[in-house]
A = this chain, B = another copy of it.
């Protein structure tokens, strides 16, 4: 049944919130009423943060990550290893890899993965710019760190073929049993892959 809002202005704000993924009308109403209970300045700060982001945010012209500057802080950091480039789907993935503190190279953000079902082809992603980046020289290794899905696998293979013939090593992140997982609950594909791709053990992890 159609909800009857006591105010058109309220309804508009609720409708805008309800457009966001995973936010239904009841949640949207709760969020808008929460904002209305705050000082007007809180709503202004909220709106300003979004408007400023929308108008001023850039994409790093090297790695295509979101950035406040032409070249992002990671790409312009002289301490990072510019010979290794980690290819990821999106910004959250950059943050996830950064959080591991196990990678000191640079990134290349594709903007998604090849998905014919969603109408996303190679030309919709930053793949050509990755090839250009490798062709420009100075990169020894490209690490493919995409999701372990059919779309990720397709994209890995497409990039692998695009880079073949170029003087660069292409590697892929390890797939296997997640740290903390019990063997009996692992799916057989993952377990099989972890046996095939076993690594030498010298007593340390």
Using a CB–CB cutoff of 8 Å, the interface residues on chain A facing chain B are 1, 3-10, 12-13, 15-17, 19-23, 27, 29-36, 40, 42-57, 60, 65-68, 72-74, 90-92, 94-95, 98-99
Residue from B6, B16, B27, B91 in contact with A50 in the complex, judged by beta carbons closer than 8 Å? B16
Residues of B within 8 A of A43 (CB): 50-51, 53-54
| A57:B7 contact, CB within 8 angstroms | yes
Task: Return chain B residues, CB-CB under 8 Å to A8.
Answer: 68
- Total copies of this chain within the assembly: 2
- Contact of A27 with B31 at beta-carbon distance under 8 Å, contacts A9-B57, A54-B40 already known: no
| A119 shortest CB reach to chain B, Å | 14
Task: Sort A-B residue pairs by CB-CB distance and give the 9 closest, nearest first.
Answer: A47-B47, A43-B54, A16-B49, A13-B49, A13-B53, A9-B53, A12-B49, A16-B46, A7-B66
Q: State A134–B45 Cα separation when bound (angstroms).
A: 40
Q: Is the CB of B53 within 8 A of A99?
A: no
- The answer on a CB contact under 8 Å between A3 and B36 is no
> Inside 8 A of A72's CB, which chain B residues have their CB?
6-7
The closest CB in chain B to the CB of A51 belongs to B47
